[in-house]
Amino acid sequence: MTLSNSSDAVARFWHKYMNSLIKSGVKASAAKYYARHAQAYVAASSGRRIATHSAGDVEAWLAERGRVDGMAAWQFVQAVEAVRHLLVMAAAPAADGVDWAFWREGGRTLAGDHPTIARSSAPAPVLPDRPGASAGPGAGDRLVAVIRQRNYSIRTERAYLGWLQRYLRFIGGGDPARAGGVQVKAFLQALAVEGRVAANTQNQALNALVFFYDQVLEQPLGELGAFARAKRPQRLPVVLSRDEVMRLLAGLQGMHATMGALLYGTGMRLMECVRLRVKDIDFGYGQIVVRDGKGQKDRVVPLPTRLVVPLRVHLDKVRGLHSDDLALGAGAVYLPDALARKYPNAPREWGWQYVFPASRLAADPRDGTVRRHHVHESSLQKAVRAATRAAGIDKPVSCHALRHSFATHMLEGGYDIRTVQELLGHSDVKTTMIYTHVLNRGGLGVVSPLDRA
């Protein structure tokens, strides 16, 4: 399709384009803004027929559009949808070659409280000089300070702080240093009896308060004795068959296909995947180093041979984005403050870039620095849910189900439990033992009498 030089023909085309948008669900008041994005795309194509545009042409324009200063995330998403609708309307082959989901995710940036960057969003409180001093109203600050000294995850910090606050309300806002095991035991029992919380929830509250009394107040609780415990349900993880995994992965497109295959092929957790850095993929040794996993542990997982070529192609594309960012004076990826201070040039080096970057630059919510963060984890979560529905899989599948399936299929393949434990990064083999249910298929391996009849 080529737009005629006739002003009337051009006006008719854009009128038709906006009507098509409205029919597809775009509000009439917004259609004109979509048209402006599409017109900007056409103007940048130097008169070439839209049907001749390649996916690379489209993505290059979107990448440039994503670097426009002052463009809000929702405006960028609008631009992506405007161009997609234009290509579909023109029946351009490029419409099927662009990873639209990846570009739409440019509308999701990392908020200031996102686990990747929240740790250094504010300085840790300073501990009082006197160990074991009365906590008083500063109990939460002291807890946060100790947690950050131990470099625990931001999610652990939030959970422990939340439980401390609930406990302080339970004891009427009193000084926890003057309370003790009796009050803690009463609080945990109330959670189970009155709150009817799950066993894991009660255990997390217990861990938080044990940590607070032991590490912050230096007043260990000791043996709490018997108290009402929440009943722990015996549930098995959601595991997909090999056929279901392949059907699910076949429904993922572009970057999401590579990410989903990595989750299943390596057993990585979702956040471990989205935070992966270029330097941690070792093509020579065929392995991936997972940095700072759960429990602040590094581990090595295999790089699936089938992903070598797709990953190399993907990284070539990412390197092009990084080079363009550097040319604009950007290109500095997020690093924790300590690393950024120790290696001031590292944020712009290729090896430190995210393997799965966001589709557009965005201001860091902490200090306003324009960066290219990693893709938001919700991107893959939504893609996996959509692929699950498309594959006709009735199980409640999440990204973590791919990790469960990896572990289960490894054991089915004859690998020993200790090997699987190391690959998953479990500190206790008991956690890995849950996957041995595959060895007891069909009710502890027995044959149903119906099948013998």
Query: Which residues are catalytically annotated?
Result: 269, 294, 400, 403, 426, 435
**Residue 135 DSSP code:** -
Q: Residue 6: which residues within 8 A CB-CB, separation 6 or more?
A: none
Element (H, E) at 363: strand 362-363
Kindly give the residue spans of alpha helices, DSSP state H, lying in 115-180: 139-149, 154-170
Instruction: Give backbone dihedrals phi and psi of 179, rounded to 5 degrees, phi first.
Output: -90, -160
Other Cβ atoms closer than 10 A to 15 = 11
The pair of structure tokens assigned to 88 is 């579909």
Please report, for residues 241, 290, 381, 415, the alpha-carbon distance to residue 274 in angstroms, rounded to integers and kept in the order given: 25, 11, 11, 27
Any idea how long the chain is? 453
Give me the sign of the Cα torsion angle 289, 293, 299, 304.
negative
Which residues neighbour 174 within 8 Å (Cβ) at sequence distance 6 or greater?
Answer: 168
What is the rounded CA–CA span in Å between residue 201 and residue 287? Answer: 36
Question: Element (H or E) spanning 299, and its range?
Answer: strand 297-302
Q: Phi, psi (5° rounding) for residue 299? A: -155, 165
Q: Is 300 exposed, middle or buried (0-12, 13-18, 19+ CB in 10 A)?
A: middle
What are residue 63's phi and psi, to 5 degrees?
Answer: -65, -40
Q: Kindly report the CA angle at 333 between 329 and 337, in degrees rounded to 5?
A: 115
Token couple for 333: 């990826």
User: Could you tell me if 391 and 248 are in contact, meaning their C-beta atoms sit under 8 angstroms apart?
Assistant: yes
d(CA 101, CA 108): 11
